[in-house]
Structure 1
Amino acid sequence: MISEFNSKIIKSLCLLVFLQACAYFNTFYNAQEHYQMAEKIRMENFGNKLPSKAIQEYQSAIEKSEKVLTEYGDSKYVQDALLLKGRSHFFKREYDSAKEAFNQLKDSEESFFQNETKYWLALCKWKDLRPQPAINDLKDLLDRTELVDLESRIYLTLGEIYLEIDRPDSAFQFLDRGAKTASSRLTREQIYFQIAELSYGNELYQQASDNYKNVLINTISVSRIRESNLKIIQTYRLLGDLDEAKRRIEQLLLDENFNSIKGKLRLELAKIELDRNNLDFAIQSLDQVAQDNQNTEVAVEAYYLLGNSFLKSPNIDFERAIFFMDQGMKQNFNSPYKIIISNKRDSVNKIIALTKDSEEDITNNPSILYGIAEILAFDIGNTYEALDYFERIINSHVESDFYTKSLFAAYSIYNKKNALEGDQYKEIILKQYPQSDYAKMIIENEQLNIQHEPSELLLTAESLWAVDQKKSLSVYRQILDKDSSTLSSNIAAYFLAYYYDYELSQKDSAIVYYQWIKEKHPSSDQGIIAQKRLEALNVE
């Protein structure tokens, strides 16, 4: 009888233990389920804001993990629950709470939890804006671990940190290592995407395209699939394979899964027509894209391209360029293109003001032609269009003050493009204006074995001053007679003015040189000082 009673007690105790084990296992299992669901949502939305559903799932994982810790504190799932809780806080950007959970794992006797703790605490340092301590901890952990999965995650994180602190070479080094070692599909996808973005930013378009294709093989993120397909199309266009780019666009336009980026795809089609120089068709396409996608980034870029198309030959029309730029600025969407549009619009308005101020045909006015060319070349960046205006001055206004300026500007533009056309302008400057500052800049730029006489005379005058001031003054005056437009003449005149003004107190002689500077170099630093000194000397 007693034996039967004891047997029932033992069975009851065993059942109680079993049920308790089931309870904490089920609680932890539920926590894992919520975490995995949150991770699935996060991975599907890589590159976008974390959806509220994912945040809710992470919160449920935290609550279930906390229940394991408080109600089943001596179970074997405590360390797993702490790790899961810390990760969930991390992805919710609750870094202090994440650190609190990870720090409780520091004293774990299991190497797995020790390594994971170090890894996640390093990530918390990074997110707390302490990138260098995070880098140091991750590199230290990298030296200590032989776990391939952890190594690849460390490589990925180091790559991301180096990208963030603008050290792309170091970023690429670690991302490349990660790509070679990653066994996790998720890690591979993240690494390939970062390499692709880095390559694209450095104009390594073939390398970028290859890595975006690797992203497509590994990702489950809908946004990454769309973004990578779009970037692959852009790389084909930038590499000059316009047919393949167009084929891919047309294929995606038929797929309803890409409806959300149809505007961007149609914008790419219009860019292809621009690249093919089908300007009229491209302009119509861009206008339609802008109309169909009002108040979006697509519309802003389309209007930017439309404005730009009317700043290039053969469609130069400053008024129409302004119209489309204005439309771009009116879009209710913040875009980096708005900054570019705003700057260009200001420059184009200056050109329009120049042309409106003239009552005569601008082709007869070298000052206006030069002003337009200067704005096109140096403010807007349309150098080929600027060349047309510079060369009008060169061909029709040889006696103008803007002739030599235009010669040098045309030479500089062609020289930057390594075009032989610049040689003709170089020869004119060196032969007809050998003592000009333009000749000096060409000599220095091309390291020619030619002396620039005003510069040599200035060096001579300066070196003579300590031994023969009379002879030095004579050389300074000689510089003024060589070419009054040079920097050397400006320096020489100011030296003479200062010498007669402050050293000899010969007011009349000083005034002569101050007036010479004011007339020849009014906008220079010396010219401004000369004007003020003349006013002090009561000279009108």
Structure 2
Amino acid sequence: MKKIFLAALILIFISCAYYNVFYNAKYYFNKGYKATQNNNSDKITTEERNNYQKAIDKSEKLIRLYPKSKYVDDALILLGKSYYYLGDMYRAKNNFNLLKENFPESKFLNEVIIWLARIAIYEKKYDIAETSLKNLKYGKLTKELMADVHSSLGRLYLNTKRFNDAVKEYTGALKYAEKDKKSGYYFTIAACYDSLQQYKEAKKYCEKSLKTANSRPERFNARFAIGELEKKLGNYDSAIKIFEKLLLDESNKLRAGRINIKIAECLELKDDVDGAIITLEDITQEFKRKKESAEAYYKLGKIFEKEKRDYEKAVFNYGKVKKEYSFSPFADS
């Protein structure tokens, strides 16, 4: 009787131990993913990297110490997703394929197919990705996975400049999406209409994105895009008001250079060339040695060349671009 009792205790202890490791892995992955959602740049932040690495370490520990536990396929999908968000597609693909090959009855199988299709999109293997996703599209999926299938197809069509098809897929994703995903889908639909030069439709979807935004970056992106679209529609005063309102928000301090460049563009388009020059010159002083000041110098060069016919000042400003920020896309213009 004592032996049975001890065996039961050991079993409970082991179960608790590997669940604890899995819980920690999931906890760190969720922290990393939250940081990813709040990241408004193309670069991975230290917070993201650290949390995804901790999720990887915990997941690998679970597989190493408890290779027969019921959480091994959970650990493999966390590994794949963590490596994906770290940009390591090779390791991401390896872990997703391990899960697919070793756990053919796993509850994560359809999700893994979606992730492998996303990697194929990243690798520009569009035919493979499209076939995989379309095969899933008509299967029995949860609402969340159905939204993922539609949005992944949308991303594929966006990458291949099939903008109308992308709109159709992201609209499909909206039917199944959870509230926290809707703003992003609306925003991407707006980007498609922008690429199609259907600016009024793009603005409408940006406004929907703003209404459903769940984070500060989402709200900023939507408002900034609305300002840009007002500019494209020729509503320069409305655009300037939107950009000036963004400048009043202290949380946009690091984006002030970018916002002011848009204001200068609007001023030039509405024939207030002197106002544009003043705004651009302010940027060169306030954001020295930054990409914003380099762009401001380039735009000043163009204004002095095309509008003022002051070629000496044009040459001076063009010459400052590369010195100001050598990595600027305008450096060799």
TM-score, normalising length: structure 1:
0.56
The 5 A counterparts of 1:220-235 are 220=214, 222-235=216-229
The 5 A counterparts of 1:277-316 are 277-312=271-306, 315-316=308-309
| Match 2:75 to one of 81, 84, 92 | 81
Name the aligned partner's letter for residue 325 of structure 1. Answer: Y
**Partners of 1:39 and 1:54 within 8 A in 2:** yes
The 5 A counterparts of 1:54-93 are 54-93=48-87
Q: 1:320 is matched with which residue?
A: 313
Q: 1:237 is matched with which residue?
A: 231
State which structure, 1 or 2, has the greater radius of gyration over its C-alpha atoms: 1
Q: 1:210 is matched with which residue?
A: 204
The 5 A counterparts of 1:257-272 are 257-272=251-266
Q: 1:118 is matched with which residue?
A: 113
Q: How far apart are the structure 2 equivalents of 1:16 and 1:69?
A: 19
**Partners of 1:106 and 1:117 within 8 A in 2:** yes
Tell me the alpha carbon deviations over residues 239-281 of structure 1, each in whole angstroms, 9 at most, x when there is no partner: 2333332332332222210100111222233333223322323
Tell me the alpha carbon deviations over residues 188-242 of structure 1, each in whole angstroms, 9 at most, x when there is no partner: 3432332222323333223333333344445555544433332222222222333
Q: 2:169 is matched with which residue?
A: 174
Moved more, 148-157 or 293-302: 293-302
Q: 2:138 is matched with which residue?
A: 143
> Does residue 246 of structure 1 match 2:240?
yes
Pick closer, same or farther for the CA change 1:282–1:124 going to 2, 3 Å.
closer
**Partners of 1:47 and 1:223 within 8 A in 2:** no
**Partners of 2:184 and 2:218 within 8 A in 1:** no
Q: 2:324 is matched with which residue?
A: 331
> Does residue 13 of structure 1 match 2:4?
no
Pick closer, same or farther for the CA change 1:96–1:310 going to 2, 3 Å.
closer
Q: 1:105 is matched with which residue?
A: 99
Q: How far apart are the structure 2 equivalents of 1:277 and 1:198?
A: 30
Name the aligned partner's letter for residue 57 of structure 1. Answer: N
**Partners of 2:224 and 2:242 within 8 A in 1:** no
Pick closer, same or farther for the CA change 1:51–1:34 going to 2, 3 Å.
same
User: Displacement, 1:121?
Assistant: 2.0
Q: 2:185 is matched with which residue?
A: 191
**Partners of 2:137 and 2:149 within 8 A in 1:** yes
Name the aligned partner's letter for residue 92 of structure 2. Answer: A
User: Displacement, 1:28?
Assistant: 0.9
| Match 2:159 to one of 158, 161, 164 | 164
Q: How far apart are the structure 1 equivalents of 2:61 and 2:280?
A: 58
**Partners of 1:295 and 1:333 within 8 A in 2:** no
The count of corresponding residues between Structure 1 and Structure 2 is 332
User: Displacement, 1:329?
Assistant: 4.5
User: Displacement, 1:78?
Assistant: 2.1
Q: How far apart are the structure 2 equivalents of 1:173 and 1:114?
A: 26
Name the aligned partner's letter for residue 60 of structure 1. Answer: K
Name the aligned partner's letter for residue 79 of structure 1. Answer: D
Structure 2 stretches lacking a partner, 5+ long: none
**Partners of 2:32 and 2:47 within 8 A in 1:** yes
Instruction: Find the residue that maps to 1:310 and give its secondary structure.
Output: helix
Q: How far apart are the structure 1 equivalents of 2:80 and 2:209?
A: 28
Pick closer, same or farther for the CA change 1:183–1:159 going to 2, 3 Å.
same
Pick closer, same or farther for the CA change 1:99–1:281 going to 2, 3 Å.
closer
Q: How far apart are the structure 2 equivalents of 1:75 and 1:284?
A: 66
**Partners of 1:236 and 1:244 within 8 A in 2:** yes
Name the aligned partner's letter for residue 165 of structure 2. Answer: S
Name the aligned partner's letter for residue 83 of structure 1. Answer: I
The 5 A counterparts of 1:356-505 are none
Q: 1:131 is matched with which residue?
A: 126
| Match 1:28 to one of 15, 22, 40 | 22
> Does residue 95 of structure 1 match 2:89?
yes
Q: How far apart are the structure 2 equivalents of 1:81 and 1:139?
A: 27
Q: How far apart are the structure 2 equivalents of 1:171 and 1:32?
A: 32
**Partners of 2:180 and 2:214 within 8 A in 1:** no
Q: How far apart are the structure 1 equivalents of 2:146 and 2:263?
A: 42
Pick closer, same or farther for the CA change 1:97–1:274 going to 2, 3 Å.
closer
Instruction: Give the % identical residues.
Output: 31
Superposition CA RMSD, Å: 2.6
Q: How far apart are the structure 2 equivalents of 1:30 and 1:266?
A: 44
Pick closer, same or farther for the CA change 1:39–1:324 going to 2, 3 Å.
same
Pick closer, same or farther for the CA change 1:104–1:271 going to 2, 3 Å.
closer
Name the aligned partner's letter for residue 14 of structure 1. Answer: A
Pick closer, same or farther for the CA change 1:102–1:286 going to 2, 3 Å.
closer
